[in-house]
Amino acid sequence: MSCCCGEPEKDPEEENVTRADEPKQFGPAPNRSCTDCWCLIVLLASWVAWCVVTVMGLTDGNLQRLYQPRDYMGAYCNLNDNWNGGLNLEGYVKQSYTMNVSAVTDVIVKQMMCSTAASEVLTQTIGGNPPLLPTISEQQDYLCACCRIPCQKCEGTLQVGGDLTAVGSISTVITDKLEELRGKVSADNLFSPSGANGQVFTDMWNEANLYFNEVCLTSCNANFAMVNASMDDSDNTSTSAVREYVYSMAPDNDLKPAYEAIAGYVGTRADATTIKNVILDNFKFDALPLDVCPYSAYRCIPMPGVEFTELVTDSPYCTFKMSAEVIAGVGDALSGTFESLGLNAMGSSIMDTVGTWIGDFQNAIDAFCLVVLSSFIIGFIYMVMLRFLIGICVWLSVCLFFIVLILAGFFAFISSSRCSGTSLWETGQTIVVGALTTASVAVTNLVSQTTPASEELSGINGGNYTGVQTWTKMGYYCADWGLSTNLNPAYNSTNYPNSDLRKNYCRNPFKESDVYKANTIWCHTTDNEVRWQECNPIGVIRPVCSGGYDIDSEELRIALEVISYILWVLAAIYAIAVCCLTDRIKLAIAVNKVASVFVVQTPRILILPGIQVLFAGAWTLVWCLSAAFLLSQVPSDYVPSTAFATYAEAYGTTDIPGKCTDKWPTGWVYKDEENCEMINGTIPACWKCAQPRYAFDWRFWVSFFNYLWNSALNVAVGQTIIAGAVCVWFFTPNNEKGSRRAFATAVYNVFRYHLGSCAFGAFIIAVIQLIRYMMKYYEKQAKAQKNRVLVLILKCLQCVIWCFEKCVKFLNKNAYIQIALYGTPFCTSAKKAFFLILRNALRFGTVAILGSMIHLIGIMFIVAATTISGYFILSGIHPYMAPAVQVIIYFFTGYFVARTFTSIFELAVDTTLQCFLCCEELNIAELGDEGFVPSQLEPWLDKSQPPELASRKKVLKDEEDRNAAVM
What's the pLDDT band for 932 if we cut at 50, 70, 90?
Answer: confident
Q: Are strands 522-524 and 677-679 parallel, antiparallel or unpaired?
A: unpaired
324 pLDDT exceeds 70? Answer: no
Ranking 295-299, 504-508, 587-591, 795-799 by mean pLDDT, the lowest is 587-591
User: Exposed, middle or buried: residue 561 (CB in 10 Å: 0-12, 13-18, 19+)?
Assistant: middle
User: What integer is the mean pLDDT of 874-903?
Assistant: 83
342 pLDDT exceeds 50? Answer: no
Nearest 5 degrees, angle CA 37-CA 41-CA 42? 110
- For residue 424, the model assigns a pLDDT of 83
Residue 595 vs residues 25, 739, 822, 907: alpha-carbon distances, Å: 21, 16, 20, 9
* 365-417 and 582-601 helices, crossing angle to 10°: 170
Q: Which residues of 494-508 are buried (b: 16+ CB within 10 A; e: fewer)?
A: eebeebbbeebbbbb
User: Exposed, middle or buried: residue 85 (CB in 10 Å: 0-12, 13-18, 19+)?
Assistant: exposed
68 close to 76: Cβ distance less than 8 angstroms: yes
Task: Cis check for the bond before 30: say yes or no (omega within 30 of 0).
Answer: no
pLDDT digit string (tens) for 573-597? 989 988 888 888 888 888 888 888 8
262 close to 275: Cβ distance less than 8 angstroms: yes
Residue 939 vs residues 705, 930, 958: alpha-carbon distances, Å: 48, 17, 18
- For residue 756, the model assigns a pLDDT of 94
Length of the chain: 967
For residue 490, report the phi and psi dihedrals to the nearest 5 degrees.
Answer: -65, -20
User: What integer is the mean pLDDT of 266-282?
Assistant: 89
Residues 6+ apart with CB under 8 A from 562: none
747 pLDDT exceeds 90? Answer: yes
pLDDT digit string (tens) for 537-568? 998 888 878 778 888 888 888 898 899 999 99
- For residue 570, the model assigns a pLDDT of 93
- For residue 299, the model assigns a pLDDT of 92
Residue 353 vs residues 356, 359, 589: alpha-carbon distances, Å: 5, 10, 48
pLDDT digit string (tens) for 654-704? 899 999 999 999 988 999 888 888 888 888 999 999 999 989 999 999 999
- H helix and E strand count, the chain: 31, 12
* 755-784 and 788-822 helices, crossing angle to 10°: 170
What's the pLDDT band for 399 if we cut at 50, 70, 90?
Answer: confident
User: What integer is the mean pLDDT of 154-168?
Assistant: 87
717 pLDDT exceeds 80? Answer: yes
Q: Which residues of 265-282 are buried (b: 16+ CB within 10 A; e: fewer)?
A: beeebebbbbbbebbeeb
- For residue 193, the model assigns a pLDDT of 67
Ranking 81-85, 494-498, 503-507 by mean pLDDT, the lowest is 81-85
What type of residue sits at position 56?
A: M
Which range among 55-59, 223-227, 481-485, 775-779 has the greatest average pLDDT? 775-779
User: What integer is the mean pLDDT of 480-501?
Assistant: 89
What's the pLDDT band for 904 if we cut at 50, 70, 90?
Answer: confident
User: What integer is the mean pLDDT of 300-316?
Assistant: 84
39 vs 348, higher pLDDT: 39
58 close to 631: Cβ distance less than 8 angstroms: no
751 pLDDT exceeds 90? Answer: yes
- For residue 47, the model assigns a pLDDT of 96
- For residue 5, the model assigns a pLDDT of 33
Q: Whole-angstrom Cα distance, residue 263 to residue 121?
A: 12
Q: Whole-angstrom Cα distance, residue 813 to residue 821?
A: 13
Q: How far is CA 465 from the centre of its chain?
A: 59
712 pLDDT exceeds 90? Answer: yes
Residues 6+ apart with CB under 8 A from 65: 76, 79, 632, 634, 693, 694
815 pLDDT exceeds 90? Answer: yes
Q: Which residues of 2-39 are buried (b: 16+ CB within 10 A; e: fewer)?
A: eeeeeeeeeeebbebbbeeeeeeebbbbeebeebbeeb
Dihedral in degrees, nearest 10, Cα atoms 349, 303, 201, 249: -140
What's the pLDDT band for 719 if we cut at 50, 70, 90?
Answer: very high
- For residue 750, the model assigns a pLDDT of 93
Ranking 380-384, 564-568, 687-691, 730-734 by mean pLDDT, the lowest is 380-384
931 pLDDT exceeds 80? Answer: no
7 pLDDT exceeds 70? Answer: no
User: What integer is the mean pLDDT of 391-407?
Assistant: 85
Q: Whole-angstrom Cα distance, residue 296 to residue 285?
A: 12
Mean of all residue pLDDT scores within the chain = 83
- For residue 4, the model assigns a pLDDT of 34
The alpha-carbon radius of gyration of the chain (Å, integer) is: 42
494 pLDDT exceeds 70? Answer: yes
Q: Whole-angstrom Cα distance, residue 646 to residue 214?
A: 21
Q: How far is CA 204 from the centre of its chain?
A: 33
Ranking 119-133, 222-236, 589-603, 842-856 by mean pLDDT, the lowest is 222-236
What's the pLDDT band for 806 if we cut at 50, 70, 90?
Answer: very high
> What is the percentage of the chain residues whose pLDDT exceeds 90?
31
192 vs 576, higher pLDDT: 576
192 close to 328: Cβ distance less than 8 angstroms: no
- For residue 720, the model assigns a pLDDT of 94
